[in-house]
Structure 1
Amino acid sequence: MKVLITDKVNECVKDIIADVSEAVFLPTMSEDELVSIIGEYDALMVRSQTKVTKRIIEAGKNLKIIGRAGVGVDNIDVEAATEKGIIVVNSPDGNTIAASEHTIALMLAVSRNIVPAAVSTKEAKWERDKFTGNELFGKTLGVMGFGRIGRKVVHIALAIGMKVLVYDPFATEEIVQKSGAIYETSLDDFLPKLDYLSLHIPKTPETNNIINKDNISKMKNTAIIINCSRGGLVNEEDLKNALENGIIAAAAVDVFVNEPKIETCPLTQYKNNNLILTPHLGASTKEAQINVALDVAKQIKQVLSGGYTESAVNIPSLNPEKLEPVKDYMKIAENAGEMIMQLANGKIKSLEITAQGDLIDLDIQPLEVAILKGALSYMFQDVNYVNAPYLAKQRGIEVKTVKSEAPSTFTGILKVKLITDKDITSVSVSLIAKNIARIVKLNDYDVIIKPQPHILVVPHINQPAMIAKVATVLSADGINIGSMSVSENIKGSNMSIMAINVDRSIGNDVITKISNIEGVHEPKYVRLAAEYTL
């Protein structure tokens, strides 16, 4: 077997791969060049420069695994690889230390005026009094996001002697407190307490521009913002204005909305010394590059040896023997996870998964993973079938699986119950015919809902004209109804529910209008990413 390694991946990987395969190192190549040779290789290892396109993947007739020596896989056509049964892996942990240290380095640099002091001194000036700074010891650091890097930043900051607060709606208070930090539940309460804010959250529609002029205005005028996470979490124009007007004291930014073309970034126009900009250096250490290379090389070795890998970003990493009997349920199981997270209120504590009918005779572990993937994808970026169980465990989410012999209306049914600190929500799904999946129950309502991208769920008092009133609001906003399921509460209350498939997303303004209809209770818009076509 042969492994092709490009993009100047560190040659330390050679000894690991040599146990199972010949390692061939070549420079970064064009698509045509790779297409012409990839057919003779069993594995491909790249960094970010090589674009592993569908054409390359299709030409890789012997490819079993593609490894990205780093975190992001934007340069790899993962869907094409999945279709070909090729595992795609990355190294999610390899840059944790590097990114954490860079965060602390920027905090120190901006607090002690290191950059302008260095420039001044190199110009043979002695301006010691001009660059008096501040200590980190005793100051309050707010860490937004308690993932791998966020936890490491907390650990370092506590060692320095800082007081650390953590805001992460998806982390439990118990896990945060075990780290030595203080758990915060409200962003509005969190921000005013901080001397420093460091972001370590994924960029999602919910977190895009989360640090904007409104939230910046809640901070102390002596506060300092550090962003080594994702460009776009901090609104660049709002941050520039805040620095210009003394709303906060300083900032340090390593990530930008438009990388690497940052010429139009508003922050590059700000020339005062209380802003430090670095060109996405978070993972740029020799050690990190070696770590990610070694990590991916080990995974390639595992796969070429006939084993399974732990950091795959696509489904072939699941055991095919387990997957085959339940594969038709995988998408609808993921839908159940997506939907239940969007219907529930409060912080997730546990998930209970119940299988009935034909499913009780099958190994439903892949379905458990699919449900977790759907649920956690609403909370995090880059969740896949491999890391979903790990993320759930890391967040202290208890997962319980039950097989019930109770009679079932359908051949096989999968019920998901989500328990939060505020309520209990349940969603049941089934295949009503081969390859035809439906959501068949929402809490105490029997429904038949197509698992399509845009669903509006409207609990309401069972009284005349409710459907017409909701339809009128949707029509006024140009939203078309594709299909609808209406059901009375099976426990005999005066409540009913509408589940409506619509043709596009529904904004908060429309949800508010529907909420204001007399008799409507907590309508929810549900967005399903794992879509069925039937």
Structure 2
Amino acid sequence: MIRVLVSDPISEQGLGKLLEAEDIVVEKKTGLSEDELCAIIAEYDALLVRSQTKVTAKIMEHGTRLRVIGRAGVGVDNIDVPAATQRGIVVLNAPDGNTISTAEHTFAMMISMARKIPQAYASILRGEWDRKTFVGVELNNKVLGILGLGRIGTEVAKRAQAFGMKVLAYDPFLTPQRANALDVQQCTVDEIVVAADFITVHTPLIKETKYLISEREFGMMKDGVRILNCARGGIIKEEALIEALKSGKVAGAALDVYEEEPLAKEHPLKQFPNVVLTPHLGASTEEAQINVAIDVAEEVLKVLRDEPFRNAVNLPSLPADKMKQVEPYLALGENIGKMAAQLVDDPVTKIEISYSGDISNLETAPITRTLLKGFLSYHHGEEVNFVNAPLVAEQAGIQTIETKTSKHSVFTNLIGLEVTTATQTKRIAGTLNNGFGPRIVRLDGYAIDAAPEGRMIVTSHLDQPGMIGRIGMILADANINIATMQVGRKEVGGKAVMVLGIDNPAGPEVVRQLAEIPNILEVHHVEL
């Protein structure tokens, strides 16, 4: 008999298919400590959790029968995913179940902020009848700027259009074709910040979106702009928002998420009468809780019955012998994808992955998925996993092509990636070097030899005397130490590329200074 342990409160209605299965026994034991879980986990084939249970490597070591861990929600921060992968345990989540819930909450917050509904309600409870103070604004004919047009952002756009709003949208993977299909105007972040009456964010919290809206952006906004964040705390810099509220630049804000949760008792945001605050309720509907439970329960059932499944956040299962063959290439593939994502500036229309040499004879599908996941998750975060990465690429309008060649003129094995946008093509290739591990050996056709790890400055420039020195001086002035340096060129005085390994992050100001050096063509800060 297959046994499933549910260690957090999860909707029984959502667990329906598991509970109804005649070959499966489901047991609920919540509030267990790590030691208590370790003592019983060996009896179970599957574990279902929400956010309370911390599924550690120690628990998995004791879970000798454990085949799958399901998280009824999106984030898997409470699960040691690398440890699960190492032990061949599939980790599943439910990335789609709270889409409508969060989109609706965003719109509820928008209307509440625009019409001052919470403040008016509080006034009524105080025995007042104050109509002048709570004059609001209409949504009709207003400009809504959406930063992040993934699943939730798309649903918000649909609702905004129904209210007569003009929608401006930014997403790193938004193509003109998809923008036309959704009837939104494709814009840059700066264009949205300048033009929008309402601005809402729907991106993951990653390096590129940390403080996406900060002092600079608030300074560019219209007077009287209104701000929403029902995505992740830290996308909007709270300190900058507070100053913008004090100055009157921002006429209202509606926040469901914060840089630190729970929100501190004396937090400055609580002092503003034009701010609407909720305690991270985006996914808190009966339907969403049921939906995420249904999604994860169905996927767990498929894993237990050896059927195809789709929402794994770690690698799909392969026979042990085949996995052993491809495993050395997985980290290389993922880092090639991550690196490429940070070297292109426009929406991608095509991704071509090539395998040359002995690797072409292997089961390369896991490597392809890993590479796509690395590329897409840089902007889409937890929405992308190893199983759904090809589908996410397809939905974003990205054509994916895989080719194989049995031999290569130089390398025994080579993974190549070519990324195409409307304005550029970026090429990266890597290999496994015996004794040195993963290496990036080609960048836009130039030969280099760089380890795909840590922080890097990647430039394209004209090969001129003093170039390296000028770059070094700017980094030195910023107290950034150069750890490694690789330069690739084809001819003296021609175009060249350079990859610098650096010990400290290079912020936007440093990148700007580097870009202003004469004969620098491109400069990117890459972090792997």
- CA apart distance, 1:465: 5.0
In structure 2, the residue matched to 1:366 is 366
C-alpha distance in structure 2 between counterparts of 1:130 and 1:453, whole Å: 54
In structure 1, the residue matched to 2:226 is 224
- CA apart distance, 1:8: 1.8
8 A contact 1:353–1:414 mirrored in 2: yes
8 A contact 1:3–1:45 mirrored in 2: yes
In structure 2, the residue matched to 1:532 is none
In structure 1, the residue matched to 2:42 is 39
In structure 1, the residue matched to 2:109 is 106
From the superposition, tell whether residues 208 and 11 of structure 1 become closer, same or farther in structure 2 (CA, over 3 Å): same
8 A contact 1:14–1:23 mirrored in 2: no
In structure 1, the residue matched to 2:258 is 256
CA deviation digits over 1:241-268, x for unaligned, max 9?
2223221221111111111142353202
- CA apart distance, 1:374: 2.1
Q: Quick one: which amino acid aligns to residue 398 of structure 2?
A: I
In structure 2, the residue matched to 1:236 is 238
CA deviation digits over 1:387-425, x for unaligned, max 9?
322221121111112223564211121221111122111
In structure 2, the residue matched to 1:191 is 193
- CA apart distance, 1:296: 0.9
In structure 1, the residue matched to 2:315 is 315
C-alpha distance in structure 2 between counterparts of 1:199 and 1:326, whole Å: 38
In structure 2, the residue matched to 1:452 is 453
In structure 2, the residue matched to 1:403 is 404
- CA apart distance, 1:462: 3.6
In structure 1, the residue matched to 2:390 is 389
C-alpha distance in structure 2 between counterparts of 1:283 and 1:73, whole Å: 15
Q: TM-score, normalised by structure 1?
A: 0.91
C-alpha distance in structure 2 between counterparts of 1:243 and 1:462, whole Å: 49
More divergent stretch after superposition (92-101 vs 332-341): 332-341
More divergent stretch after superposition (315-324 vs 145-154): 315-324
- Confirm whether residue 127 of structure 1 aligns to residue 134 of structure 2: no
- CA apart distance, 1:146: 0.5
In structure 1, the residue matched to 2:276 is 276
Q: How does 1:424-443 map to 2 (within 5 A)?
A: 424-433=425-434, 436-443=437-444
In structure 1, the residue matched to 2:216 is 214
**Aligned with residue 67 of structure 1, among 70, 93, 99:** 70
Q: Quick one: which amino acid aligns to residue 301 of structure 2?
A: K
8 A contact 2:141–2:164 mirrored in 1: yes
Q: How does 1:413-432 map to 2 (within 5 A)?
A: 413-432=414-433
CA deviation digits over 1:76-95, x for unaligned, max 9?
22222222221111111111
8 A contact 1:86–1:316 mirrored in 2: no
Q: Which runs of 5+ in 2 are unaligned?
A: none
- CA apart distance, 1:518: 4.8
CA deviation digits over 1:173-195, x for unaligned, max 9?
211221222222x2222223222
8 A contact 1:430–1:440 mirrored in 2: yes
Q: Which runs of 5+ in 1 are unaligned?
A: 529-534
8 A contact 1:469–1:517 mirrored in 2: yes
8 A contact 1:236–1:266 mirrored in 2: no
- CA apart distance, 1:493: 6.5
**Secondary structure of 2:522's match?**
coil
C-alpha distance in structure 2 between counterparts of 1:488 and 1:435, whole Å: 23
Q: Quick one: which amino acid aligns to residue 3 of structure 1?
A: V
Q: Quick one: which amino acid aligns to residue 418 of structure 1?
A: V
- CA apart distance, 1:364: 2.1
From the superposition, tell whether residues 341 and 71 of structure 1 become closer, same or farther in structure 2 (CA, over 3 Å): closer
**Secondary structure of 2:309's match?**
coil
From the superposition, tell whether residues 192 and 473 of structure 1 become closer, same or farther in structure 2 (CA, over 3 Å): closer
In structure 2, the residue matched to 1:17 is 18
**Secondary structure of 1:131's match?**
coil
More divergent stretch after superposition (2-11 vs 237-246): 237-246
Tell me how many residue pairs correspond in the alignment.
Answer: 524
More divergent stretch after superposition (409-418 vs 433-442): 433-442
From the superposition, tell whether residues 291 and 460 of structure 1 become closer, same or farther in structure 2 (CA, over 3 Å): closer
From the superposition, tell whether residues 474 and 386 of structure 1 become closer, same or farther in structure 2 (CA, over 3 Å): same
- CA apart distance, 1:291: 0.8
- Confirm whether residue 485 of structure 1 aligns to residue 486 of structure 2: yes
From the superposition, tell whether residues 413 and 59 of structure 1 become closer, same or farther in structure 2 (CA, over 3 Å): same
Q: Quick one: which amino acid aligns to residue 440 of structure 1?
A: V
- CA apart distance, 1:426: 0.8
Residue identity over aligned pairs, in percent, reads 40
More divergent stretch after superposition (334-343 vs 144-153): 334-343
**Aligned residues: CA RMSD:** 2.4
- Confirm whether residue 148 of structure 1 aligns to residue 154 of structure 2: no
From the superposition, tell whether residues 445 and 97 of structure 1 become closer, same or farther in structure 2 (CA, over 3 Å): same
**Secondary structure of 1:306's match?**
coil
8 A contact 2:16–2:294 mirrored in 1: no
8 A contact 1:203–1:381 mirrored in 2: yes
CA deviation digits over 1:269-299, x for unaligned, max 9?
x142x21111111111111111111111111
C-alpha distance in structure 1 between counterparts of 2:210 and 2:515, whole Å: 26
Q: Quick one: which amino acid aligns to residue 117 of structure 1?
A: A
Q: TM-score, normalised by structure 2?
A: 0.92
8 A contact 1:258–1:265 mirrored in 2: no
From the superposition, tell whether residues 42 and 124 of structure 1 become closer, same or farther in structure 2 (CA, over 3 Å): same
8 A contact 1:348–1:418 mirrored in 2: yes
- CA apart distance, 1:474: 4.3
Q: Quick one: which amino acid aligns to residue 374 of structure 2?
A: G
C-alpha distance in structure 1 between counterparts of 2:507 and 2:213, whole Å: 21
8 A contact 2:369–2:389 mirrored in 1: yes
- CA apart distance, 1:147: 0.8
In structure 2, the residue matched to 1:522 is 522
- CA apart distance, 1:44: 1.0
Q: Quick one: which amino acid aligns to residue 8 of structure 2?
A: D
In structure 2, the residue matched to 1:85 is 88
8 A contact 1:211–1:234 mirrored in 2: yes
- Confirm whether residue 49 of structure 1 aligns to residue 27 of structure 2: no
C-alpha distance in structure 2 between counterparts of 1:489 and 1:53, whole Å: 50
CA deviation digits over 1:58-110, x for unaligned, max 9?
22121111111111112222222222221111111111111111111111112
